[in-house]
Every structure is written in structure tokens, then in C-alpha cells.
Structure 1
């Protein structure tokens, strides 16, 4: 069941499952994205963790912020406020795309609140030659810019997120389309997400990067700068997979993430 948490200037929607060490799940910025649309199919594999799945400001059940601050920076501060309100002093962070960028920003600014980081093709770090934008980002920005988004535009976007287009089901497309109409971000195109590149070396948390080899939204070629910039980072690449790693390759993703989280600070202390 979805609840809300006070973050000072708004209430963010979130869903909580399981019990144990906290894991905060942070979704991407695609049209119609919510915490559960990104991670609902993964949570059953983590019943021994306290899973807090947040709708970031402007998506899902969380209101669009009125701010000139870069979106990644704004969202990171609100996630930290949400953690404090929920009594979470320290957590693993799992972030997809935009949510991965938010997780990195938290690790840079609030290192004591972060145990381990799992980042699936995170945003916030662009190559020097962007734009032009990859096809997935072009579709994302076009959908955000549309005055009257269409279901077909959503279908085209969803099909670009997966390597196996049979996973772009009508049910999934309908769910994302209806969600996008409830909270359709009115943002400059491209949005002012913010640049994390200068501060990558500030991330002290052990970090797992997970990438789909055929990602057409945040391409694998962009991984190098992040991998080199974060001192304690490793990269896992899944073939025959695009941007939605946690959806398209859920069993492998769940196994990889569980294995990584079990090597966190708590496990080391017990050893």
C-alpha cells in the first residue's frame, strides 16, 4: 500500500515491504515512471530487507516541485529528508537511470547515510559529445515536450527500453501511459538534471554498476567515465538487454544485487 512521508515542502509517495536492513529504491525519469513500475517485480526477491520504494518529486504520487534547482540535486535532498522522517539513518541505495543519479548525489553529499550503491545505467554524467542524444533519450524528451501525449508515443518509448520487444506488453504500455497523464512533467527540454561529473571521486561507497549491453538510452559507452571516477566501483554488463535491466533480466538482476548487498558494511561487521 502506498503511503506518504513529509519532506518539509511536500509529501513524497512511497511503498514499503519486507523487514531488515534498509534499501531505498529510486526510479528513472521516463514518462509514467513510478517506484513500483520500475521495481515492483523485484521486491519479492528481497523480503529480508526493509524496502522503501519512493516516487521521486514530479513522478507517480509525488507532486512536481516548483524549483530552479537541478532536478537531481533537489530530489536527492528530499530523499534524504524522507529517510530521516522514516527513521532510516543509513541504507543501501538502488537507483535506475535518473534514480541512479539521485543515489550518486546522496552518496556525494551525505556519505554517512549510504552503505552500498547499485546503479543501473545512471544519469547525471554525460560525455563531452552529447548531444546528439541516444534514441531512448530523444523519445523521452519528445514525450515530455508533447502537449497531448499519445499511447502510441508511449508504446514507441517502452519498446526502446527492452531488447526483447515482446516484454513491451499492452498492459505495461497502458499502465505507463495512464500514469504519465496523472503527473506529466512540465519541464524544459532537455530538463536541468544537473552534472555530477566533477564530484564522482567523492563517492566512498562500494558501488555496483549494472548495464544492458544494448542500452539505447544511457549507452554502455557512457559507463567508462563513471567507472573510472568512483574509487570503489565495479561493472556488470548483461547481454541482450537494454535500459530496463531490473525488468528485462529480473532473475539475474536480483541475484547480482543480493550478492552485492550481502557484502555490505553490516556483513563485514558481523564477520
Structure 2
């Protein structure tokens, strides 16, 4: 495969916005954001599947944070060209979105970073408590241990309602990803240096959204990004885990809608 030829789906037309999902799932994780565009015409929403995820084959060479970022950047060049665009990234996709902003500079109108990866492994600052509601009877009935472990890791509410959202938006992508490519990426999960280093400042309009109960990336480490984005709004939501666009979709959609309304729109 041509590593820049990622599979994607898109909606609408006008100014491009690239929405990048996270690790071991696919674009369906971000589709709950679509209602934020209702009543906001003129946005061409591009949802790629990262290499080795969803409908995109793995890279032809080694999989790492660097090769994944390069593949997305090449795909954006081929798909968006020299048009101004916005970018949104969730989790690992947030790290990629930061790399996109650093590479394209002022061509990027702004970014929305949802629970972005900033640090990993033992370097992460994680919250002490990550569960706000728990249905022990439900957890006892769930049969597949691997699915259950993922559910408990990415959702703060372990309830029947949360499980239904998990089954609809997260589990299909989890079951579709390339396990060998994911293992390679897990071993080389961070870019060699922060995309913002050294001293990068981007003056577009940016949104940072984290959650108090995020068991995978936390919320404190992400606040260091504010130094690089002078027009960044930072929000820390309570009552949600690593997938706030699924677990508390109305609140997240409202924040995304507000961010969209701040972005300059090229003629």
C-alpha cells in the first residue's frame, strides 16, 4: 500500500477538518461528535482510520509513533493540499494532531485535543480514583475478559448504559485493529520529542479537553501544552474517563461547537 493512502470516510464540504482517533480503535470512536456540526455548514469532516486500524492496512514498514505521524501528514498533504484546515485528535490521535500542527504551521486554523497523549508509562501523572459509578452485577456477567479489561480502563462509569456506548462506539474498532502492528507501536509509542519542542508557539484557536477520571493519560501532564498555544482553552471534565466524546457526548459536543465557532474561516 501507499502509506499516504489511508482509508477514510467524510461528510459535508467546505473547510477541511481532520479528526484522528486513538490507539487500537478506529474512526467510529469520534462519530459521536457529528452533531456538533449540525447548523454549522461549510466543514468537510475527514475521518481517517490510522494504519493498522479499522479499514486501513498496517504500514509497509515498522510501526512507531514517528511512522504513524508521517503517514498521516503525507495523507493530509495528498487529501487537503495547501488549503487551511483544522485538526482534532483523541488520545494517541491527539499526539498525532500536535505533530500535524507543528508540521503545517499556520496552515492549521486550530486544533482540538481530546485527552491527548503527552507522557506515557511510568512518566504519566494519573489520578488516584478513576471510577465514579460501578455495577458489580453487570461486571460479573460480562464474559470476555479482554473486552472487560478495556471497558474498565477507558470508561469511568461501569454501568449498563456505559457498556452499551462502549459496544457501539469502541468495541468494533478494538476488534478490527491489527494486533501485531499495535504491539510494535506500543513499544515505540511516543514521538522522539514533543512536537512543540523546541519553543514552538502556535497562535491558532485551540481546545484542550481532559477528564478527572482518565486512567490512561490523566489530566495534569496535558496542562503543560498551554505554554505552546497562547489561544488555547483548557477544560477538565469531571465524571468521565478516556472517551469523553462517548461517555459525556452532549457536554463534549457543546465544547467542540464553541471551538468551531472561534476558528477563522477562509474565503
TM-score normalised by structure 2 residue count: 0.78
**Cα distance in 2, alignment partners of residues 62 and 233 from structure 1:** 32
**Cα distance in 2, alignment partners of residues 10 and 87 from structure 1:** 12
Unpaired runs of at least 5, structure 1: 1-5, 136-149
Decide whether the 8 Å contact of 2:127 with 2:213 is kept in 1: no
- Residue 31 of structure 2: aligned partner: 40
Residue correspondences, number: 243
Partner SS state of residue 64, structure 1: coil
Change (3 A) 1:42 1:127: closer
Which of residues 191, 194, 218 is equivalent to 2:191?
Answer: 194
Decide whether the 8 Å contact of 1:80 with 1:106 is kept in 2: yes
| Counterpart check, 1:216 vs 2:215 | yes
Partner SS state of residue 6, structure 2: strand
- Runs in 1 of length 4+ with deviation above 6 angstroms? 131-135
**Cα distance in 2, alignment partners of residues 86 and 243 from structure 1:** 29
**Cα distance in 2, alignment partners of residues 69 and 216 from structure 1:** 25
- Residue 158 of structure 1: aligned partner: 151
Decide whether the 8 Å contact of 2:214 with 2:241 is kept in 1: yes
| Counterpart check, 1:119 vs 2:113 | yes
* Cα offsets for 1:185-239 (capped at 9, x unmatched): 3224433432443734324133210011111111112123222344432311111
- Residue 141 of structure 1: aligned partner: none
Change (3 A) 1:233 1:213: same
TM-score normalised by structure 1 residue count: 0.77
Mean Cα deviation higher: 162-171 or 249-258: 162-171
